[in-house]
Chains A and B, each alone.
Chain A
Amino acid sequence: MAELELDSITKVFHDGDEEIVAVDDVSLTIEDGEFLVVVGPSGCGKSTTLRMVAGLESITSGAIRLGDDVINDVKSQDRDIAMVFQSYALYPHMTVQENMSFGLEESTGLSDDEIGARVEETASTMGIGDLLERRPDELSGGQQQRVALGRSIVRDPEVFLMDEPLSNLDAKLRAQMRTELQRLQEELDVTTMYVTHDQTEAMTMGDRIAILNEGELQQISSPLECYHAPANRFVADFIGEPGMNFFDVDREGDELVSELFTYPLSDWMVDDLGDTSELVFGIRPEDVSLVDVASAEHDFEAVVEVVEPMGDENTVHLHFAGHPDSSIVASVGGLQNVSQGEELAAHIPEEAIHLFDRQTGKVLHNRRLDSEEAVDATL
């Protein structure tokens, strides 16, 4: 087990004369035993990053360190890294037993008896002990998934790499495997790098998450910090479902002005903004509350367009009164009665707003959390 460090690694693909930068100067460190989730939209370079760590893709520049050794030029087969693939990539002509023994036979000098014992032990912890004699095509998707995991666990590698391992499972099984994977990782305490495009997996599984976009690292921190204190507009938009509401606003003195609304700011807020005046205003749907009448300065008249009842909560799509093209989404309690066409007011509390620089996308102000201690505890 060891610490994995990516030191400003870059990957450039050549397509004819065109250069495509898939991964752009990404630096991050995964502590020994840490579970890091790398998340981002498709094509953001997350899989390429993982494949560079695995040695399946060459590194254009930068260094990858495992423990104290630079492993840039170490062949995949000598890296002592195990990877779980999206397609499971089991060997179809081998039984589960043979699939799991393969890595031990190729990479260690263990005797057949020792290999057999280790395979059996791992198989029983994975709950696939009675499948050892079967071939992959006789297994269900969930069982294949377990075999793929078991195959990498049995080798007891320095690092686990997982490339969207749960995306071929149905929703229920995925939720179950998510928990199980977390439990396993905690038990084995192996440094793990987990790539996904699914933000639920990112939020729930990782010790920390790294968010990539267009090959660049946007933010790396704990899931809750990414949620409550995004480093930029991309992170704020990417994390959270339904996504954050954004409005372009201009700052005029101590007011934020857009064509939809005018939002007065308190003094403590103004200090954060410096002299940037072109801003993006952000508010998460669950921070918007719906009241009958606009009675305070942060209440805005709105009309309900669509209500999506989810049971525990309602996702309400509204537009600002007088601006039928505008749109704002609010999540309210499942018991609050809201109906289509209803005219009411959206309350946007000042503590909950995020403000971003419109040019750079960088965050200028993040929401306040009720108590700083609570934040520290959760982060």
Chain B
Amino acid sequence: MTKPDLKDDSNDERSKGTADGGRLPRLRKRFDYHRLGLYAVLLGIVAFYLAPIEAGLVTSLKTRTGVIETLPMSPPIYGEFSTASWIAAFDTLSRGLLNSALYAVPATVISAFIGSVAAYGLTQANWKRRYKATFLALFVAGIFIPYQAVLVPVTRFWSNYAQIEGLLTPLWLLGVDRDYTDLVELMITSIAYGIPICTILFRSYYKNMNIEMIEAARLDGASLRRIYRRIVLPLSTPMFAVVLIYQFTQIWNDLLFALVLIQSTSSDAAPAVLILSGLGVSQEGMNFSLQMAGALITALPTIAVYVMFSEEFSEGLAT
């Protein structure tokens, strides 16, 4: 049954090709060159971006001699393949990964939520436009504050003005190490510095929301808070995906605040990035294999978050 069909199709195509005369094949040829060039460039770009990751991956799977004796990008040869670096890296980093998650997850969620509420206030709530503009200017300025400029003020703030160790006494009584004060400080700092960008991202989204819909809800008897809770928040899911992914990546990867706020790499509360920065460094020289394995392990959660929210993410970017 299928065979005659196939034959018919090929006949049709051939007859089409001849019917179109000599112009079409020429066009098709030029088209092909164009395509070829395009694919070559695209492949080049893919190779360019993937090369470091590939090098990292193969290096992490080599023994120390393997790293020294082969090219960074060549796969491990027989006898020099080893997963020891991955196991070692995971052992060293697991404490840090947990610490990172402990502060990055709440910091992401809280800064996104505060950003959303602030943006709601800046767009849909009914107050003087002049004041709105002032607050908006402050938020925008907040985005552009370079982290380097606030390192000293932030450390002094936490060490001199806001000593929160005492406030957390219940935690210490539960047996939590006092080093975790630093982690709480790091979380609050990350939230504070994440709010401006979250607010601006949500603001552009809320500005495009149907104003008549909000007004309809007001006339339906809903208060400002209820409108946020029942109308605006449920409709913000795509933007939350964008903001959560962005914020999580930022906070998880941020080394600068971790460096100044956490006492040392050996601290109980050290996040993954901090431990990673000292990983594989010893007097016998650098253990590249261990470093690469550690870097890949540390990057995994951010990739996982992208995968989890990818659908909402693309929807949010499109709006």
Q: Do A and B bind each other?
A: yes
Taking Cβ atoms with an 8 Å cutoff, the residues of A that contact B are 54-56, 75-79, 81-83, 85-87, 89-93, 102-103, 106-108, 151, 155
Does A89 contact B216, Cβ atoms closer than 8 Å?
Answer: yes
B83: CB under 8 A from chain A?
A: no
Does B235 contact A106, Cβ atoms closer than 8 Å?
Answer: no
Which residues on B sit within 8 Å (CB–CB) of A106? Answer: 217, 220-222, 226
- Residue in chain A with minimal CB distance to B224: A77
Does A77 contact B230, Cβ atoms closer than 8 Å?
Answer: no
- Residue in chain B with minimal CB distance to A58: B126
Which residues on A sit within 8 Å (CB–CB) of B220? Answer: 77, 82, 102-103, 106-107, 151, 155
**Which of A77, A86, A91, A92 sits near B221, CB closer than 8 Å?**
A77
Say which one of B158-166, B207-215, B249-257, B297-305 lies at the interface with A: B207-215
Which residues on A sit within 8 Å (CB–CB) of B42? Answer: none
Does B215 contact A93, Cβ atoms closer than 8 Å?
Answer: no
How far is it, in angstroms, between the C-alpha of A76 and the C-alpha of B224 when the chains are bound?
11
B223: CB under 8 A from chain A?
A: yes
- Interface 1/0 per residue, B28-59 and A, CB below 8 Å: 00000000000000000000000000000000
Taking Cβ atoms with an 8 Å cutoff, the residues of B that contact A are 210, 212-213, 215-223, 226, 230-231, 234-235
Which residues on A sit within 8 Å (CB–CB) of B213? Answer: 87, 89-92
Does B210 contact A102, Cβ atoms closer than 8 Å?
Answer: no
How far is it, in angstroms, between the C-alpha of A375 and the C-alpha of B229 when the chains are bound?
56
Does A89 contact B221, Cβ atoms closer than 8 Å?
Answer: no
How far is it, in angstroms, between the C-alpha of A75 and the C-alpha of B126 when the chains are bound?
11
Main secondary structure of the interface of B (DSSP, over half): helix
How far is it, in angstroms, between the C-alpha of A103 and the C-alpha of B222 when the chains are bound?
8
Number of A-B contacts (CB under 8 A): 66
Does A56 contact B218, Cβ atoms closer than 8 Å?
Answer: yes
Shortest Cβ distance from residue B78 to the other chain A in the assembled complex, whole angstroms:
58
Does B212 contact A85, Cβ atoms closer than 8 Å?
Answer: yes
Known: A91-B231, A92-B235, A102-B230. A85 touches B223 (CB 8 A): no
Max chain A C-beta neighbours (<10 A), residue from B215, B226, B231, B235: B215
Shortest Cβ distance from residue B296 to the other chain A in the assembled complex, whole angstroms:
39
**Which of A78, A82, A92, A102 sits near B217, CB closer than 8 Å?**
A102
Which residues on B sit within 8 Å (CB–CB) of A103? Answer: 219-221
**Which of A77, A81, A92 sits near B223, CB closer than 8 Å?**
A77
Which residues on B sit within 8 Å (CB–CB) of A75? Answer: 218
Known: A93-B234, A102-B230. A78 touches B216 (CB 8 A): no
- Residue in chain B with minimal CB distance to A108: B221
Does A83 contact B222, Cβ atoms closer than 8 Å?
Answer: no
How far is it, in angstroms, between the C-alpha of A93 and the C-alpha of B235 when the chains are bound?
7
Does A107 contact B221, Cβ atoms closer than 8 Å?
Answer: yes
Shortest Cβ distance from residue A151 to the other chain B in the assembled complex, whole angstroms:
8
Known: A91-B231, A102-B230, A106-B226. A85 touches B221 (CB 8 A): no
Which residues on B sit within 8 Å (CB–CB) of A81? Answer: 219
How far is it, in angstroms, between the C-alpha of A93 and the C-alpha of B216 when the chains are bound?
14
**Which of A55, A77, A79, A108 sits near B222, CB closer than 8 Å?**
A77
Max chain B C-beta neighbours (<10 A), residue from A54, A55, A85, A107: A85
Which residues on A sit within 8 Å (CB–CB) of B215? Answer: 54, 56, 76, 83, 85, 89
Shortest Cβ distance from residue B229 to the other chain A in the assembled complex, whole angstroms:
11
- Residue in chain B with minimal CB distance to A82: B219
Which residues on A sit within 8 Å (CB–CB) of B235? Answer: 92-93
20 contacts between A and B (CB under 8 A): A56-B218, A75-B218, A76-B219, A77-B218, A77-B219, A77-B223, A79-B219, A81-B219, A82-B219, A83-B215, A85-B212, A89-B212, A90-B213, A92-B213, A102-B222, A102-B230, A103-B219, A103-B220, A106-B220, A151-B220
Shortest Cβ distance from residue B37 to the other chain A in the assembled complex, whole angstroms:
42
Which residues on A sit within 8 Å (CB–CB) of B221? Answer: 77-78, 103, 106-108
Which residues on A sit within 8 Å (CB–CB) of B217? Answer: 91, 102, 106
How far is it, in angstroms, between the C-alpha of A91 and the C-alpha of B226 when the chains are bound?
14
Which residues on A sit within 8 Å (CB–CB) of B230? Answer: 102
Known: A77-B222, A102-B217. A89 touches B234 (CB 8 A): no
How far is it, in angstroms, between the C-alpha of A329 and the C-alpha of B81 when the chains are bound?
96
- Residue in chain B with minimal CB distance to A81: B219
- Residue in chain A with minimal CB distance to B220: A103
How far is it, in angstroms, between the C-alpha of A149 and the C-alpha of B226 when the chains are bound?
22
